[in-house]
Amino acid sequence: MHLGLMVADLKGIIISHDDIDHLEGLHKFKEEYVSLEVISSAIEADSVSGKVESERLVQVRESLSHVPEEMKGWVNDFIKQLEAIQHFEVTQTLEDGQFFKDTLQVIATPGHTKGHISFFDTESKTLIAADAIVVEEGEFNIANPQFTLDMKAALASVEKMKSLKPNRVICYHGGVVEEGIEEKLDRLINRYC
């Protein structure tokens, strides 16, 4: 779908959670469009802003003590990448249940990270799941279950998403699902319970 918008038309960028693939390119936008708002959950505002270390950086550093020797080089490189992320002040924070722009509701979906947020358009019943879940081979899964910071919270978030009864789910990794959503969410929950 073509909306006829340019990057210069953006007023802000929502960061669904503090992870490298969601923050690393932010500086490219902010360098050119200084007034662009940075929006995140209130829970992760300090880590997105760089005031505290991200959960992912802490997790990866802690993994050094128990990863096999042959993995330590990769882990150290990943730590350097995480440390090199340029951070920008969060100018607006969002809370669970808050309506952001008309029919778009903020849905707190912790698990992948503690302050992960998704969005639900109440009019179209579209869930923007961000990284709360992914699509793999046509089925839902937890995003990188081996790196999920709180699996119990992640599964509670899946239950919460299911209760919304979405007609469409958009996952940042894997794309759009419009058929069999409830059954696929049930299978995901059952896989980890």
pLDDT (tens digit, 9 = 90+) per residue, 106-151? 999 999 999 999 999 999 999 999 999 999 999 999 998 988 999 9
Say if residues 144 and 125 touch (Cβ distance below 8 Å).
no
Instruction: Give residue-wise pLDDT tens across range 7-55.
Output: 788 899 999 999 999 898 898 888 888 999 999 999 999 999 999 999 9
pLDDT value at residue 118: 98
Residues facing residue 135 across a β-bridge: 140
Looking at the predicted structure, is the pLDDT value of residue 3 above 80?
A: no
Kindly tell me the number of DSSP H helices and DSSP E strands found in the chain.
7, 10
Looking at the predicted structure, is the pLDDT value of residue 1 above 60?
A: no
| Residue whose entry in the numeric block shows the structure tokens 């952001």 | 100
Q: Which of these CATH numbers, 3.40.605.10, 3.60.15.10, 3.40.50.720, 2.102.10.10, describes 95-192?
A: 3.60.15.10
Residue 121 gets which letter from DSSP?
Answer: E
pLDDT value at residue 2: 60
Distance CA 97, CA 78 (A): 34
pLDDT value at residue 90: 97
pLDDT value at residue 6: 80
Domain residue extents for the chain: 8-92, 95-192
Say if residues 114 and 55 touch (Cβ distance below 8 Å).
yes
| Residue whose entry in the numeric block shows the structure tokens 């990794």 | 173
Instruction: Give residue-wise pLDDT tens across range 49-102.
Output: 999 999 999 999 999 999 999 999 999 999 999 999 999 999 999 999 999 989
CA atoms within 13 A of residue 50's CA, in its CB half-sphere: 14
- The tokens describing 56, both together, are 């992912």
Q: Is 111 left (phi over 0), alpha (psi -120 to 50) or beta?
A: left
pLDDT value at residue 153: 97
| Residue whose entry in the numeric block shows the structure tokens 């959503």 | 181
pLDDT value at residue 4: 76
Residue among 168, 162, 164 at smallest CA distance from 182: 162
pLDDT value at residue 154: 97
pTM confidence score: 0.92
